[in-house]
Amino acid sequence: MITILLLSVFVLDVPVVGSLFWLVIVSLLFIFVSLSLGLLISSVTRTQVAAMLASGLILMMPTMVLSGMIFPVESMPLVLQIISDLIPAHWYIQAVRKLMIEGVPIMLVYKEIGILLLMAVVLITVSFKKFKYRLE
């Protein structure tokens, strides 16, 4: 996270207008959501190869296309906009845009933080349930 932030500021000249503290907190929350998604995948799949295929094919392409990183979500059809709401990177990118580029206060990012927190709780809960089931 620090490397990417340093590269974006010093190589790409992206200004950090907002709070660096809140940017780090939201980034750590996104990392936690991503790790909990990986934990869910590893508790559902039986082999390492299946887990790699599931994370690579099922998660990577939709995240790249539907998160708003490459194409604006607003220009997508309504069905794809609804699907993009299920992708954690979509909410993280919106929060980073607001915090880092627009420089808005943290109160205007509560929606994105709340959704990422909800995703983390749901993913961790489902992962623990699946993990206990596999142990039995």
3-state secondary structure of 102: helix
Tell whether the model's pLDDT for residue 132 goes beyond 80.
no
Given a cut of 70, whether residue 75 has pLDDT beyond it is yes
pLDDT score of 49: 86
The pLDDT of residue 111: 95
Q: What is the DSSP letter of 72?
A: -
134 — pLDDT class (breaks 50, 70, 90): low
For all residues of the chain together, what is the average pLDDT? 88
User: Structure tokens of 93?
Assistant: 């990118």
Average of pLDDT values for 35-41? 90
Q: How far apart are CA 46 and CA 69, in angstroms?
A: 32
pTM for this prediction: 0.86
Q: pLDDT at position 133, please?
A: 64
CA 40 vs CA 12, 22, 102, 126: distances in Å: 35, 27, 34, 7
Within 10 angstroms of residue 64's Cβ, the number of other Cβ atoms is 13
Q: What is the mean pLDDT of residues 29-39?
A: 93
Angle, nearest 10°, between helix axes 110-135 and 20-44? 30
- Asked whether the predicted pLDDT for residue 64 surpasses 80, the reply is yes
Q: Which residue has the tokens 């997508």?
A: 76
